Structure 1
């Protein structure tokens, strides 16, 4: 259920997967389930954003995207939420700052695909993000090399944990990030929209 604030208790390890989810699909689910397993997470919150500041295209209505996400996220450890709209934040750094203040003692982990690591340096206050919470990065087809050579990866090379240490990521002190190389589906929200299975508006 997306209504209300998600529950988070001190001592829990909670993954944060943000995005437009326009629409949510099996790739989001694959990342989430692998994150729960690899990083020993108690919960993962899907944060359906009002909009992406780096994208000019307007997403489908929020209620529609949340409803689709809830149809996909059929797992007891996944919570679909409109928390960014509730917080009134526009940028990820702001959202994380507000969440860490609102949920003291919760060990948050920011989850993202390797394609986002490539462009992370373009995000507002991106260093603040890396310095505040550990990050779990998942390989997507075609993005592995670019992600490893990205500006963020180079700047924080010394903070990278090996895959064999992934289960300790949530308890690690930021900056800390772990790159998980997975054989993943090439499905994407962009491809789904282009195929006409998710009409605009």
Structure 2
């Protein structure tokens, strides 16, 4: 028999206050495990910040990944209906009949417990573990409420003595929406675990990090994505050879598919895919001269193989000719050929999409890598790098040192 705590919530996003309550429940109730259970579609609130249930699960998994006694359960995520605690907890009691289940709630929730849907069913399924501030003025009131609920529903109630943690998910969302400034980053890192902060930044969640960043002359809203897409496609079709344009289209749509699979803004990934080869209309000599003229750094490997410069030149053109000032897009275009150790999510999406898009048919293990990219992203990148290095060695072509270092990085993840 196990003693299992269940902490449910919207977790939009999960923060240090949630984890503190979970840890205190684990310690004070001598639990074996604490399960973090993100709501599916909460019946009482509309989600703010434009995040999906899958992104909230991703943040929760990032938060508890290094905590051995915590794990995320997807019970409510699997339903397209509204999330009601009595249904979820009744099913969990059936699934784990021999275990003791503790449903962790705050003192405010205890006050409103009689208004929940079927509180009598919840009371029969779990013990209520109520987080109460030890310096609270309402401790006596909480004890009175507990006695009343025990009489009315036969509820088992355990009170947890906890500190007051002044963190709210709404404050975090507002802070991010106000801008990712150095000052705000310091505040955010005190409010959420480091892996959650990294997840939010990598997936561009909440407010100002979500949409495309365009130059002032070409400001465009995410709702105008179809218009931007058409403008860029029209320019590219005139500049690129038909075969290159076909490849570009393939990369853009594959990048969008990977973005949807890995919880990244689809429109951002699509634009990165469209523009990744926008400098490919130039010959290697023209690319070299262009980069010299624009003072773009040229590495020793690029001196030997100037065709590699289409990535750096492409990022320059994306900004100056197409009005893209989004640093993530420009960076992804810059590194899409060789990759780099520690690529961000968009870098990885574009790097992979360039390799697996539907018009490719020569690479080894292509079918396997395509399948892997939607299941184990980092393994797919490792396979791409390994096969690329093998191919370049077999054909006697120079290998950029960055490709070696990138392979070593992903091999050791």
Q: TM-score, normalised by structure 2?
A: 0.39
Cα distance, 1:141 vs structure 2 = 9.2
Shift of 1:121: 2.0
Q: How many correspondences in the alignment? A: 177
Q: Could you say what secondary structure the match of 1:148 adopts? A: helix
Summarize the Cα distance change of 1:158–1:96 in structure 2 as closer, same or farther, 3 Å threshold.
Answer: same
8 Å CA contact 1:46–1:81 kept in 2: the answer is: yes
Q: Verify the 8 A CA contact 2:37 2:74 in the aligned structure 1.
A: yes
1:132 lines up with 2:139 in the alignment:
no
Aligned equivalents of 2:79, 2:144: Cα separation in 1:
29
SS in 2 for 1:139: strand
- The answer (yes or no) to whether the contact 2:107–2:142 under 8 Å persists in 1 is no
Answering whether residue 44 of structure 2 is matched by residue 64 of structure 1, we say no
Cα separation, partners in 2 of 1:191 and 1:119, compared to 1, 3 Å: farther
Which structure has more RCO (C-alpha within 8 Å, separation ≥ 6)?
1
Q: Which residue of 1 aligns with 2:86?
A: 93
Q: Are 2:171 and 1:180 equivalent residues in the alignment?
A: no
Distance 1:44 1:79, change over 3 A: same
Moved more, 92-101 or 113-122: 113-122
* Counterpart in the other structure of 1:80: 72
2:191 corresponds to 1:191: no
Greater percentage in helix = 2
5 Å-filtered alignment, 1:102-181, equals 102-139=95-132, 145=138, 148=141, 153=146, 155-156=148-149, 175-181=155-161
Paired residue for 1:55?
45
Larger radius of gyration: 2
Query: Shift of the alpha carbon at 1:88?
Result: 6.3
TM-aligned CA deviation for residue 41 of structure 1: 0.6
CA distance in 2, matches of 1:147, 1:113: 15
- Flag the 1:184–1:194 CA change in 2: closer, same or farther, 3 A: same
What is residue 21 of structure 1 aligned with on the other side?
A: 11
5+ long unaligned stretches in structure 2: 178-204, 211-413
Compute the displacement of 1:76 (Å). Answer: 0.6
Separation in 1, partners of 2:86, 2:140: 20
Supply the distance in 2 between the matched residues of 1:129 and 1:151 (Cα, whole angstroms).
19
Distance across 2 between alignment mates of 1:56 and 1:143:
30
- Structure 1 residue 148: deviation in Å? 3.1
C-alpha distance in structure 2 between counterparts of 1:144 and 1:55, whole Å: 29
Gaps of 5+ in 1: 1-10, 160-173
**Alpha-carbon distance in 2 for matches of 1:102, 1:111:** 19
Kept in 1, the 8 Å contact 2:21–2:162? The answer is no
User: Which of 12-21 and 141-150 deviates more?
Assistant: 141-150
TM-score (norm 1): 0.76
Partners of 1:82 and 1:68 lie apart in 2 by: 13
| Equivalent-residue separation in structure 2 for 1:135 and 1:127 (angstroms) | 12
CA RMSD of aligned residues (A): 2.9
The whole-number CA distance in structure 1 between the counterparts of 2:206 and 2:144 is 35
* Alpha-carbon distance, 1:142 to partner: 9.3
1:40 to 1:146, Cα distance in 2 relative to 1, 3 A: closer
